[in-house]
Structure 1
């Protein structure tokens, strides 16, 4: 039975956190979905939440939902802004999308303190500096 199910492995899709603007007072960060495929993905649904321990207490952020009817091939969309204060938490992005009639889904988790300068890379398609999970 399980062998009859299609292998809907998520490939060539990434979630990235990029530094948008920086000033003396603050830094502005955004979370992006990057479609590295040559084909579009449709009915893209992303849920985001943060959770973990801060100052010895369990913390949870609100769960947010984002929907994009279409993300073209070799393009990106801004999912949401992200506050630096949540970088010490697990930041989870659960992605579902369709290609044709096939559904795909994957959970992307930025672990605590993984969004740091040491992990920065040049993000493809967006052409900004940030941290990416593919």
Structure 2
């Protein structure tokens, strides 16, 4: 029965942590974004995020949106400095052409730092793409 279930591969949808300046707090901070680099919109987007390392766990945060237009992005959440030392997981599900897609994006503990920054497509800001 399980062998009959086909799970399509997620392409061109990403989670990125962006290191950006916050004008209100006059400081740089990490924010999580979801990116749709596809040429078509995605629908019914759900994201569950959590941090963990052994016995240390954060409460899961849940985000939802009706959809995300092609070549666009949406901010998910602010990432506190305290959780950067944890594994940060973002589980993304969405529909595309009536088919359910899902993927887990992981930022391993202690890898979220200024030395790992690259330019993130679609947003064109400095950050790190989840794997």
Aligned partner (choices 70, 74, 82) of residue 71 of structure 2: 74
Aligned to 2:94: 97
Aligned to 2:20: 20
Partners of 2:22 and 2:69 in 1: how far apart?
29
Q: Which runs of 5+ in 1 are unaligned?
A: none
Partners of 2:126 and 2:3 in 1: how far apart?
41
Total equivalences in the alignment = 130
Measure how far apart 1:3 and its partner are: 5.7
TM-score (norm 1): 0.88
Partners of 2:125 and 2:86 in 1: how far apart?
23
2:46–2:92 contact (8 Å) kept in structure 1: yes
Measure how far apart 1:59 and its partner are: 1.2
Between 1:14-23 and 1:89-98, the stretch displaced more is 14-23
2:7–2:101 contact (8 Å) kept in structure 1: no
Measure how far apart 1:87 and its partner are: 0.7
Measure how far apart 1:100 and its partner are: 1.9
Measure how far apart 1:7 and its partner are: 4.5
TM-score (norm 2): 0.90
Aligned to 1:35: 36
Partners of 1:79 and 1:30 in 2: how far apart?
7
Deviations 1:25-61 (A, max 9, x none): 74322100011110010000000011115xxxx3111
Structure 1 residues 52 and 7: CA distance shift in structure 2, 3 A: closer
What RMSD in Å do the two structures reach over aligned CA positions? 2.0
Partners of 1:95 and 1:78 in 2: how far apart?
14
Deviations 1:65-112 (A, max 9, x none): 000101011100001111122110000100000012100001111001
